[in-house]
Amino acid sequence: MSPTLASAPGSCCFGGVKHAGTPVGRIEDLGGLQTYISEPPTFKLATTQKVILYLADVWGPLYLNNQLIQDYFASCGYIVLGPDYFFGNAISNHPPGFDRPTWIVNARKAAFDAFPAWLDAVKAKYGSDTKYCTVGYCFGAPFVMDLCSNGSVVAGALAHPAFLEERHFEKLAGPLILSCAEEDHTFPHASRRRAEDIMVARKCTYYFQVFSGVKHGFAVKGDPDVEMEREWPYLIP
């Protein structure tokens, strides 16, 4: 088996601060998955459609924080699509102390089984000539790496990833941005360095950034009352 670099979500992935705001997107069925769709304002529409596939953490794309992030990307000129590969069974629907390991195993299988049909439906709706990018947070990271390895997207981005192995970086083909927390038990310093070493050896196109003073999950569930947690996520490309 390929050595693990980013492990499974831990306790910090199941907590965090809920943000405030009003989502502006809508929810539609795409390929059998409820999908959060956020579109750019008319004046931001480009001649060539640009689509971001938003692959959420364990809280799912319909969680308020994730909806607001998707709306922000849309305000920059992208059509943003967030598939609910948790089928309405994201972490927010479970009480504290539930069986997280079993939930993760079942959720991963269901998500990976459903994702190909969803991606086919996206390509059918938005066209094969559209420029597709993808961003994944924690749970969504391996989907990004697979898409960046098989030519499905023109570029990908990760924030505090989980479930990554060396093989993901050994197969990487497209450009990749990695936005990481200084303190991250899931993707610690040694693993980040190993991932970088693999990408350097393979001459991949990548951009690595590590944000000081924050922990795993900062890009989705950071505390707006803490300056470092409030400011850094908006610097993530």
Q: Are 66 and 220 in contact (CB under 8 A)?
A: yes
Give residue for tokens 């992208």.
Answer: 78
Calpha distance 215→10 (Å, rounded): 12
Is 133 annotated in the active site?
no
Calpha distance 122→130 (Å, rounded): 10
Give the helix/strand (H/E) hosting 81: strand 79-83
Checking DSSP bridges between strand 33-38 and strand 206-215, what pairing results, if any? unpaired
Give the helix/strand (H/E) hosting 133: strand 131-137
Catalytic member of 12, 13, 133, 138? 138
Is 216 annotated in the active site?
yes
Q: Are 10 and 186 in contact (CB under 8 A)?
A: yes
Q: How many helices (H) and strands (E) does the chain have?
A: 7, 10
Q: Are 157 and 177 in contact (CB under 8 A)?
A: yes
User: Which residues are part of the catalytic machinery?
Assistant: 138, 184, 216
